[in-house]
Structure 1
């Protein structure tokens, strides 16, 4: 089968088209004929070496959509030909076929209607992450105010809508440019601020009370309301780790929490499935819109990575397989 892989860490140019054997579905797995593969910053980090060197050839891609081509042993609730969105914790989505754990294969035929493959190509990583950050890590409650960084990205644009669906009263976002601010506003943000000077404007917007939380870092601790939470889920900027004193958290009624979908997939896979199914219902109902802004051919994966690494992307980029 045709795939995109890399044999050494480096820039986008290390990605190349390869021919590899079609994988088999093992026990508890499904084989999916891929229609679309979502492009995510975690795959850029994978290529750059943040997760270690390839062994010996790695095929990136952590989410995809397509049709079930084969079922492994002990798989129920799915049939060959079913349309699905799949989360791929070990990668493999940039290919004509991919193997996924059956519990992370989300049916696209829901009680509220069928989700199309194009939309579904960018949901199986993004939606459980956005839902898990808000409902799990941040413990979002009805009436809360939320601040979301990277508001124009795939997770950020979905998170704003999910926050509303979960009962958030006010949703703020930050972005790195004015163009991205105009784009992000279409997803229901009450206001979108420049990232470099959001501290003052968030305080002004909330009358000094602060916001409850969002996927962010150190600076956002300063704008938390009493009992607010900072929930972070990734490291797109690739900054070194922080050393934080604990006493300011206690003295100012602040909390810091994190979300890592890989850890959830290993230690609480049923919870990840619950979050994914709940979020997909929001898509099927029309409460959440996945904005696919760019579709490139599989062979153009390096171009997609170059744009994402440079921060020029908004919404969701897919590879058409």
Structure 2
């Protein structure tokens, strides 16, 4: 089968097309004939060696859409031929066929395969960080950093659907601010100077880290929650004293879908299904801003590396 991957740690140019054997689904797994593969920020650190040197040729890709081509032992659903969006905790999505745990292959129920290509990880994360880590309640106000990205644009819409009273965002450029405003934000601010520009909020979503994360604590309302779900800025980890948190009635929570998939797969599935119901109903949408052939996966990694990415980038496979 055709696939794209890497066997050396390098920039986007490390991604190259190859022919490799198609995987075989094991117990509790399904084989997906991939139509679209989503491109995600978390795939770049893997290519850059954050997890160590690759042990042979590695195919990235954490979410796909397509039809179930085969099922492994013990799998009753989804059925062969069923269209699904899938989260791939072990990667492998940049290929014609990918193996996913059956629990993370979600029926699309009429959602187009193109939309499904950006749903398995992106929508699940956006819903999970809001409903799980941040415990968003109706009437809460929300601040979303990286407001123009795939998760940020989805989270703004999901927050509204869950009853948020106000949704604010921050971005790195004026162009991203104009883009983000399409997704229901009340206001979008420059990330470098958002403090003092908005009222205290109940929830902050932060995938950036560093100074942005530290400044976010200062805008939390009483019992406000800072929900952390990434380290896109590649800053050193913060050492936060606990005393200022309890003295100011603030809390910090975390969301990591990989850990959740290992320890509570049912929670991941519930988050994904809730988000996909919103997508199917039209309450939210996925904005695909770039669609490239599978062989151009390296180019798909270039825009996020240069902080130019907005919305959702897909690789067209099938």
| TM-score exceeds 0.5 | yes
Q: Residue 145 of structure 2: which of 129, 133, 149 is its match?
A: 149
Q: Residue 220 of structure 1: which of 207, 216, 223 is its match?
A: 216
CA distance in structure 2 between the partners assigned to 1:287 and 1:27 by the alignment: 36
Residue 296 of structure 1 corresponds to which residue in structure 2? 292
Structure 1 residue runs of 4 or more that deviate by more than 3 Å after TM superposition: none
In the TM superposition, what is the alpha-carbon distance from 1:211 to its structure 2 partner?
4.1
Cα offsets for 1:42-82 (capped at 9, x unmatched): 11111011122211111000000001000111111221111
CA distance in structure 1 between the partners assigned to 2:50 and 2:112 by the alignment: 33
Residue 51 of structure 2 corresponds to which residue in structure 1? 51
Residue 247 of structure 1 corresponds to which residue in structure 2? 243
Cα offsets for 1:223-253 (capped at 9, x unmatched): 0001000001011111111111111101111
Q: How many pairs align? A: 312
Counterpart contact for 2:142–2:201, Cα < 8 Å? no
2:147 is paired with a residue whose SS is coil
Map of 1:88-103 to 2, 5 A cutoff? 88-103=88-103
CA distance in structure 1 between the partners assigned to 2:214 and 2:159 by the alignment: 22
In the TM superposition, what is the alpha-carbon distance from 1:212 to its structure 2 partner?
2.8
Residue 2 of structure 1 corresponds to which residue in structure 2? 2
Residue 210 of structure 2 corresponds to which residue in structure 1? none
Counterpart contact for 1:152–1:314, Cα < 8 Å? yes
CA distance in structure 1 between the partners assigned to 2:157 and 2:47 by the alignment: 30
Give the TM-score taking structure 1 as reference length. Answer: 0.96
Map of 1:19-34 to 2, 5 A cutoff? 19-34=19-34
Residue 127 of structure 1 corresponds to which residue in structure 2? 123
Residue 189 of structure 1 corresponds to which residue in structure 2? 185
CA distance in structure 2 between the partners assigned to 1:26 and 1:231 by the alignment: 35
CA distance in structure 1 between the partners assigned to 2:234 and 2:63 by the alignment: 22
**Structure 2: unaligned runs, 5 residues or longer:** 208-212
Counterpart contact for 1:15–1:301, Cα < 8 Å? yes
Counterpart contact for 1:212–1:227, Cα < 8 Å? no
CA distance in structure 2 between the partners assigned to 1:120 and 1:55 by the alignment: 30
Give the TM-score taking structure 2 as reference length. Answer: 0.97
Residue 307 of structure 1 pairs with residue 298 of structure 2 = no
Cα offsets for 1:80-122 (capped at 9, x unmatched): 111000000000000000000000000011xxxx000001100
Residue 260 of structure 1 corresponds to which residue in structure 2? 256
**Structure 1: unaligned runs, 5 residues or longer:** none
Residue 36 of structure 2 corresponds to which residue in structure 1? 36
Residue 66 of structure 2 corresponds to which residue in structure 1? 66
